[in-house]
């Protein structure tokens, strides 16, 4: 397991701040306060470290299967109309990522990126019905070799204040390669063709690159 590059700066600044405050507490307060602060710092730093962790996982899905782009819990499986790019009815699967989940996101399907767009917006809680259209978000559309389209939308939540996405229009999409990163609690929506066969259930915990969302 390694740490994601998006966390290097935050981890460095956090370490510097906590060490500085620890030294201050050592000189200004008694030993009990100092050790209490160090214990709290250690706990908080471990939480930040686990947030930016990137577990090593192997993809075992079949070629026509769409893999999970994110760790988290399946909170939505429904038929909806996607208005931004596809402009047709699709099957939507939403994965909610708590602050304890891995927050790196990955391409769920092989193909070519035919559309990318970043949208600034609000910071409603990630499970709010309007978060998919009103929150800060990014949209990436992949077209498979068979001409089927898979739309992936990263959505910021109430705690998440920055979406990082690396997809560019025209680039090749390979399952399991990095799509982006969302900092501190968020959601990923995947829009699939109506004929796709869904392999996950509502409320299921899923792992990126490991679990299969659907077959196209």
- What is the total count of domains within the chain? 2
- Is 60 a member of any domain? no
Q: How far apart are CA 213 and CA 206, in angstroms?
A: 9
Same domain, 19 and 96: no
Same domain, 7 and 69: no
Q: How far apart are CA 183 and CA 157, in angstroms?
A: 9
Same domain, 49 and 70: no
Where does a domain end: 54, 75, 90? 54
User: In the chain, pLDDT over 70 holds for what percent of residues?
Assistant: 89
Same domain, 23 and 112: no
Q: Could you confirm whether 186 is annotated as catalytic?
A: yes
Catalytic residue among 14, 39, 186, 215: 186
Same domain, 89 and 173: yes
- Is 196 a member of any domain? yes
Question: What is the per-residue pLDDT for 203?
Answer: 96
Q: What is the largest CA-CA distance in the chain?
A: 68
Same domain, 103 and 207: yes
Same domain, 14 and 109: no
Same domain, 149 and 192: yes
For the CA atoms of the chain, what is the radius of gyration? 19
Same domain, 129 and 93: yes
pTM, whole model, 2 decimals? 0.81
Structural domain of 177: 65-215
Same domain, 31 and 106: no
The tens digit of pLDDT for each residue in 156-213 reads 865 555 788 899 999 999 998 999 988 766 889 999 999 999 999 999 999 999 999 9
Closest to 88 in 3D by CA, of 144, 137, 151: 151
Same domain, 48 and 74: no
CATH value at residue 76 = 2.70.70.10
Question: What is the per-residue pLDDT for 19?
Answer: 78
What does the pLDDT profile of the chain (216 residues) look like in tens digits?
Answer: 677 677 677 777 778 888 777 777 777 777 777 777 788 888 887 877 777 777 778 888 888 899 999 999 999 999 999 999 999 999 999 999 887 888 889 999 999 999 999 988 766 655 555 556 667 889 999 999 999 999 999 988 655 557 888 999 999 999 989 999 887 668 899 999 999 999 999 999 999 999 999 999
Question: What is the per-residue pLDDT for 11?
Answer: 73
Same domain, 31 and 108: no
**Which residue is it, tokens 């939308």?**
153
């Amino acid at each position: 397991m390694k740490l994601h590059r998006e966390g290097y700066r935050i981890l460095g600044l956090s370490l510097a701040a906590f060490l500085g405050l620890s030294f201050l507490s050592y000189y200004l307060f008694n030993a009990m306060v100092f050790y209490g602060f160090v214990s709290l710092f250690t706990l908080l730093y471990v939480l930040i470290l686990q947030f930016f962790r990137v577990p090593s996982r192997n993809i075992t899905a079949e070629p026509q299967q769409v893999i999970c782009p994110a760790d988290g819990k399946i909170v939505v499986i429904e038929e909806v109309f996607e208005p931004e790019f596809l402009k047709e009815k699709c099957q939507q699967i939403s994965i909610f990522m708590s602050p304890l989940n891995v927050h790196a996101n990955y391409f769920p399907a092989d193909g070519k990126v035919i559309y990318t767009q970043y949208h600034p917006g609000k910071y409603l809680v990630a499970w709010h019905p309007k978060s998919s259209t009103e929150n800060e978000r990014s949209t990436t559309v992949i077209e498979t070799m068979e001409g089927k389209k898979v739309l992936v939308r990263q959505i910021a939540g109430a705690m998440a204040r920055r979406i990082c996405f690396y997809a560019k229009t025209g680039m090749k999409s390979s399952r399991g390669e990095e799509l982006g990163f969302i900092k501190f609690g968020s959601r990923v929506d995947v829009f699939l063709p109506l004929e796709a066969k869904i392999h996950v259930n509502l409320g299921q915990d899923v792992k990126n690159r490991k679990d299969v969302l659907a077959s196209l």
